[in-house]
Chains A and B, each alone.
Chain A
């Protein structure tokens, strides 16, 4: 079953299209990574899916309903980011209590355990928490709500390395015990890729691709070698990125479409893997050369 179905989804903000004719579906009980550069439209998409923002054009369906201003969506979908607002009249323990009253599947025991594990004080006020502590607290709300659609937007902002890895493990363990549809947006694909089943890559409001993570890892290869050899090997192939290391030495990232890799090796070209996160950066770069071109 599809939990999310988007068809031609467009969001116009002023004269800019934050989302541009976006079409995709997300299956029930999968973990999807939402990846893209700053301003690619990740947050806009998640806020529309959560029913917080209204789409301009196209159709968007969550649990077969239009999410905007929809109580079914509010009760069954949660959007977690580092801007979550809570009343300063409520203590942290009050907030957990109120969240429990709102979300039908709320797991108070899990919330309490995570709350203690991360050393929160029940009488603290959300506004006074540090950046990392805020993210950690919001993550507790996101996990304990057990919403059928759970969306984390850059959940690890400000978290230290240890809390980040605890968060990923907590997320996975709770997902295994209580499968649900999860979307995580992140700039750190390398940190979350093991958790993911699929990756949705956005580029300037458009879908670049929506692929299983394993296919992404075999999507392209890196070729390093004498420039003319690399050129010869990548002729008629889709070159994703290329960088001149030295006058006569080139590194090219080429789509792995039946590339003659053994021949390349015989020509003295070094063939290397391209990690999923590097690939996403290369794919969504505006120019093929990168920062070096600015200094030419």
Chain B
């Protein structure tokens, strides 16, 4: 992953989202050790304190747990928590943006839903 440095999202949030995506994709499984702050700093050329902040964010949300002296590991509820969060925050946020844009363009609710349905059908066709 390449970090987005245009300031749209803090780097530590991008780090925590990257780890979440690794868990979503199944690259990091339950009770598996995640990268240390130093490894993350090396990987993304960022300050290790920033990487630590990203990891701590996930600990606070019970996506990761600490093993003293060993590092951070994926909790058993991580996957569920991430899916929940992405649905309620990320996805809803994207929909809100779409709704605001639709309103600006005088696109009706029915038309918007139709557009979404069309996109979903296309996606499934591709898969």
Contact = CB atoms under 8 A, between A and B. Distances in A.
A276 B49 contact: no
A168 interface: yes
B3 A194 contact: yes
A176 B41 contact: yes
Given A214-B53, A265-B100, A273-B8, 9 more contacts: A30-B49, A172-B46, A176-B42, A193-B5, A195-B45, A195-B46, A218-B10, A273-B7, A275-B7
Contact of B12 (A190, A214, A276): A214
B7 A195 contact: no
Those 6 A-B pairs whose CB atoms lie nearest each other, nearest first: A275-B7, A197-B49, A194-B46, A273-B7, A197-B47, A176-B38
Interface residues of A, number: 23
A197 B38 CA distance: 14
Interface in B1-21: 3, 5-8, 10-12
Interface of B: 3, 5-8, 10-12, 38, 41-42, 44-50, 53, 100
Nearest to B9: A273
Contacts of A176: 38, 41-42, 48
Contacts of B7: 217, 273-276
28 contacts: A31-B47, A168-B45, A172-B41, A172-B42, A172-B45, A172-B46, A176-B38, A176-B41, A176-B42, A193-B5, A194-B3, A194-B11, A194-B44, A194-B45, A194-B46, A195-B47, A196-B47, A197-B50, A214-B10, A214-B11, A214-B50, A214-B53, A217-B7, A265-B100, A273-B7, A274-B7, A275-B6, A275-B7
Contacts of A217: 7, 10
